[in-house]
Amino acid sequence: MEGKVTGGGRLTFYQDNVAIFGHNVGERHGITVNGGLFSTNVDANDLSNETVRCRNSVTSWIDYKADVSSRLDLVNWPVTAALARQAEERAKKLCEGQLHHECVDISLTLRRHDEAIITARNAGRYLAGDKERCNLLGGPNRLENAAFDRVRKAGWRQHREEMARRKAEAARLAALEQQRRRQEEQERRRQAEAERARKEAEARAVALAASRKAFDAFMQEAGAKEWVAKGQLVANPFIYEGDTVVVWMKFYTMVARDETLFDLREDPFLVSEIPPGRFTQEGQSVLLAGRVLGKEYVKLPMLGDVLVPHIEYTDAHICQQQRCAEMLAWANND
């Protein structure tokens, strides 16, 4: 508590913003506050139905019991201590002249509604003579307050429950925050993936359009009438006899100064009127434009004379990308 308070009311003690216990402050509750200083106003009138036993043996004993006034707030610990002192004085007064020893042990039981609320054992209290000697002879003192303990235990139980609730709530909020971050990360990745796919699609569309434009330009420059699959020429080149067509093949080897074989390992083609030095590397992928002449016999290793399609060279594009994508991506769609 900070500052100075004067008057009465309710004094509550908190731990972690959780009320642990509290007690009433005011004249009628047995405790007052003035300028921040507490004082109790407990007297013998707050004790009633007193019973006392005064005993002598090796030591002197007093067993005192009484009922406590209902006006007092027994949860208030200063009031409890003041009551115990008042009961002790009452016990010694009631046993005055009956005890044989100068030191006495006093047992106190203060009740409310037939329930023992305050119990105390004050060992080594002095009646007369040497106070220090009595203190040395006495055992440990004990003061217990069931009302205070109940409230305190309930308060700490409430505190534990509140701490557990806060911990669970913090864990729940942390889980929600983690889930929110995961969702944000997933959304970020989804958007990034969507943006990447969009850009790839745009780039792909540009590449397809560029390949088609390049292919059309090649067809136009070569004066080609049609793009023909190899299989069509192998099966019946005479359909295109005299026409300039475009066909995609692989260069194999020159068989004469101006003649070469394409696709030797698959379906061989004979191409004539090749400009010197036009093809130099076996396995080159080539988009070839040429006039279809029909078929002609060529001598092949281990096979002898074989009838193959014959094309007269017009133009050629040596492919730079896989599957000649710079020219045929629009057709291959890859």
Q: Are residues 149 and 253 in the same domain?
A: no
Asked if the model's pLDDT at residue 222 lies above 70, the reply is: yes
Neighbouring C-beta atoms of residue 174, cutoff 10 Å: 10
Q: Which two tokens stand for residue 36?
A: 């921040």
Q: Are residues 141 and 258 in the same domain?
A: no
Q: Are residues 167 and 274 in the same domain?
A: no
Residue 220 lies in a domain: no
Q: Are residues 92 and 5 in the same domain?
A: yes
Residue 307 lies in a domain: yes
Q: Which two tokens stand for residue 111?
A: 């009740």
Q: Are residues 231 and 170 in the same domain?
A: no
Cβ-contact 304, 294 below 8 angstroms: no
**What gap in Å lies between CA 124 and CA 183, rounded to an integer?**
72
pLDDT of residue 30: 67
Domain that holds residue 91: 1-213
Which residue among 185, 213, 241 closes a domain?
213
DSSP letters for 207-263: HHHHHHHHHHHHHHHHT--EE--HHHHHH-GGGGBT-EEEEEEEEEEESSSS-EEES
**What gap in Å lies between CA 244 and CA 246, rounded to an integer?**
7
pLDDT of residue 197: 94
Domain count of the fold of the chain: 2
pLDDT of residue 109: 84
Residue 146 lies in a domain: yes
The pLDDT tens digits of the residues spanning 25-72 come to: 666 666 676 666 667 778 888 888 988 898 887 778 888 898 988 888
pLDDT of residue 127: 65
Instruction: State the average pLDDT over residues 230-242.
Output: 92
Asked if the model's pLDDT at residue 227 lies above 70, the reply is: yes
Residues 6+ away with beta carbon under 8 Å from 40 = 30, 31, 78, 79, 81, 82
**What gap in Å lies between CA 189 and CA 169, rounded to an integer?**
30
Which residue among 213, 244, 273 closes a domain?
213
Asked if the model's pLDDT at residue 246 lies above 80, the reply is: yes
**What gap in Å lies between CA 50 and CA 52, rounded to an integer?**
7
Higher pLDDT, 190 or 124: 190
pLDDT of residue 2: 36
Q: Are residues 123 and 48 in the same domain?
A: yes
Neighbouring C-beta atoms of residue 88, cutoff 10 Å: 18
Higher pLDDT, 88 or 176: 176
pLDDT class of 196 with cuts at 50, 70, 90: very high
Mean pLDDT across the chain: 83
Q: What letters, b where the CB count within 10 A reaches 16 and e where it falls short, cover 104-126?
A: bbbbbebbbeeeebbbbebbbbb
Q: Are residues 89 and 156 in the same domain?
A: yes
Asked if the model's pLDDT at residue 7 lies above 60, the reply is: no
pLDDT of residue 263: 83
Q: Are residues 186 and 230 in the same domain?
A: no
Which residue among 213, 248, 263 closes a domain?
213
The pLDDT tens digits of the residues spanning 117-142 come to: 888 777 556 665 555 656 555 555 67
Cβ-contact 62, 106 below 8 angstroms: yes
Residue 205 lies in a domain: yes
Higher pLDDT, 116 or 228: 228
